Structure 1
Amino acid sequence: MVEAALARKGTAVLRLNTEDFHSYAFNWGSDSPGLHIDRGIDSIDISQAVGCYFRKPLSPPFHPGLVAPESRSFSALEADAFLGSLYALRGVRWISHPALIETAGSKVGQLATARSLGLSVPRTLVTNDPTKAKDFVRALDADILIKPLRTASIELDLEQVDFFARRLSVSEAMHTSDVIRFAPTLIQEFIPKHSEIRVTIIGGDLFAVEITPLSVDIPVDWTSLKSTFFSYKPFELPEGITSRLHEFLGHYGLSFGAFDFVKTEGGQLIFLENNPNGAWYWLEREIGIPMADSMAQLLLGSGNPIQESRAC
């Protein structure tokens, strides 16, 4: 959809699908002005790109012409290393730079930053000490949530196992707390919610949407469900929170963020997290807000003539 929005603005686009890495030709030389990427009739010198949208690429595979396992492994690792070189080139404008996304993805760092900016956050403990975990749960004396710090899924017996936030009672938490010693765990107070607020910031544009479940039988982690389980409507974000979210992105050097808040029955907004590379198009599809156009404009940047611009 971003490609379509850029096309409407007369902008040439090269899309690099990393899972198809070996179908592209890459050329960089010490005496050349930049890195050239070619695929058939599409070609770009990345140093001439106005903006590059980094959207959760897959690790490149091995070359399809290889058979030996060690050759396949070398091919895939070298392709991945070359992508790292691509991200390290100077003078390329990323939305957003992979290194910044990596830093901004820390849940611990996000909660600390949000709290320092005056946003309300749930009471939280990250620990691998079962005694500290029990003390925390005992002091809360209420249901908790446990969340992975990063890992969204693992492969088990050739099947993908996904990890979602899970709600536990005090007794369940106390009974299972000993396993915390195997990996640091994020433990958070459970906050009953009326709805969730997704705030997407794309450059100077802010889109806030209230997401309300259509049924009471909704799991704690809504990301496991299809969009049809919810209703969507624009939400008026308090000005104080708006300025703090822009400060939050500025702290990490980002121009894009997808923030999640809980809205309580009393109307209070509680910060949960920011996805620095989050999905957003489903919200445009649901209520018609012009997010793809906003992303296209951000990629083009200010002061760049449309007829001379390129994006990748």
Structure 2
Amino acid sequence: MSSTSRATQVAVITHEHDLHAYAVRRDLARRHGIACRIVEADRLNRGTGMIWAGGGSPELDGPAGFAPAASVPDCDGESVPVADLAAVWFRRLNCPKKADYPGVTEAAHLDLIRNDSRDALLGTMQARFTGTWVDRPEASRTAENKVRQLQAAAGAGLAVPRTLVSNDPSTIRAFCAGLDGRVIIKPVRGTGMAPMITAKVTPELLANDASLRLSPAIYQELIPGSRHIRAHVFGEHDAAALLESGDLDWRPNLGIPATAHTLPAETLAAMRRLLDALELSMGVFDLKLTATGYVFLEVNPQGQFLFIEGMCGLPLTAMMADFLAEAALVRGPAAGAPRP
């Protein structure tokens, strides 16, 4: 195990081959001399594996139990005592379906491994980790809900498009008629098994009751214009990019103009109020810049940022490393605790 002290060790909880984790680990070592342990939720079978030991009482018969312990394997197969960690970047806990395990071919067995790995790792960290979360798992999970985001964004003072979440055909048609058909549709949560893009609502869709009833979806006022903002707030650090695209969803085509962009102080303040309301210390925002100002679309508690760094040169990896280094110096319940 590394001889690095607890105050200078952080961990990233993620999945295998996460380039963000490796890039930030490099910068933490290079810029701050901090050891960063990458814990891959879909690869807990490395090294000694994961260990949690506890329980036992004088009332129970039989041999004495194990001494309390909690450790997880890092990507190099080394054991990481949870008590040695000052900060944890809770980036990803989902185990990709592509992950394979030697000799395991049954779908039910693979699902068992993924589910048990995820819950054992999460439970161990929640039970024994006493440092700073970036961000707390329960806060990150709750904040991903688009309905809660939109409500909180309006309360924080951000402009929010008129929105309906429904699977009632008559209500959906009335909402779209009220906006003269200028409405987009997107999933409430989506699926990791296939990419889901934002699209315009069509007359064909509105005529199909069976399709509309299948599940609730987000129907939202179409915000005109081609200026998209991708904004990153990591604690007190922030940086934004202006992306120019005529597409509703610019993500499938990254060969578009991208430049660094300075957000107004009042917009940044509203974004930080939203993070506080969601009990987050970081978030990656999607906004639209119109003739009248900035319109909030959504915030991803753990959004991707390396591609934006590649597109326009924003130093986002260094910014994230600085943020984690600062979090490692904080002893307390969470980096995402509301500001006084």
Tell me whether the two structures share a fold, i.e. TM-score over 0.5.
yes
- Higher normalized contact order (CA 8 Å, seq sep 6+, divided by chain length): 1
Is the CA contact 1:114–1:248 (under 8 Å) kept in the aligned structure 2?
A: yes
Q: 1:105 aligns with which of 129, 144, 151?
A: 144
Whole-Å separation in 2 of the counterparts to 1:40 and 1:172: 53
Aligned partner of residue 323 in structure 2, secondary structure: helix
Whole-Å separation in 2 of the counterparts to 1:187 and 1:66: 42
Whole-Å separation in 2 of the counterparts to 1:141 and 1:70: 48
Aligned ranges for residues 109-120 of structure 1 at < 5 Å? 109-120=148-159
Whole-Å separation in 2 of the counterparts to 1:196 and 1:69: 41
Give a deviation string over 1:261-293, Cα, whole Å, max 9, x none.
1112x1521110001110112222233322212
Q: 1:206 aligns with which of 233, 238, 256?
A: 238
User: Are the structure 2 counterparts of residues 177 and 124 from structure 1 closer, same or farther at C-alpha, using a change threshold of 3 Å?
Assistant: farther
Q: 1:167 aligns with which of 200, 203, 211?
A: 200
Structure 1 residues without counterparts, runs of 5 or longer: 155-160, 306-312
Aligned partner of residue 200 in structure 2, secondary structure: strand
Is the CA contact 1:46–1:92 (under 8 Å) kept in the aligned structure 2?
A: no
TM-score normalised to the size of structure 2?
0.77
Q: Does 1:150 align with 2:189?
A: yes
Is the CA contact 2:185–2:220 (under 8 Å) kept in the aligned structure 1?
A: yes
Moved more, 245-254 or 41-50: 41-50
Corresponding position of 1:231: 257
Identity across the alignment (%): 26
Q: Does 1:282 align with 2:307?
A: yes
Moved more, 27-36 or 253-262: 27-36
Q: 2:281 aligns with which of 249, 255, 260?
A: 255
Aligned ranges for residues 120-135 of structure 1 at < 5 Å? 120-135=159-174
Corresponding position of 1:7: 29
Aligned partner of residue 116 in structure 2, secondary structure: helix
Instruction: Look up the equivalent residue of 1:236 and give its one-letter code.
Output: T
The alpha carbon displacement at 1:78 in A equals 2.5
Task: Give the number of the structure whose residues are more often helix, by fraction.
Answer: 1
Give a deviation string over 1:98-139, Cα, whole Å, max 9, x none.
221110011111111111122111111111111111111111
Backbone CA RMSD of aligned residues: 2.5
Corresponding position of 1:192: 224
Aligned partner of residue 184 in structure 2, secondary structure: strand
User: Are the structure 2 counterparts of residues 178 and 37 from structure 1 closer, same or farther at C-alpha, using a change threshold of 3 Å?
Assistant: closer
Whole-Å separation in 1 of the counterparts to 2:112 and 2:211: 37
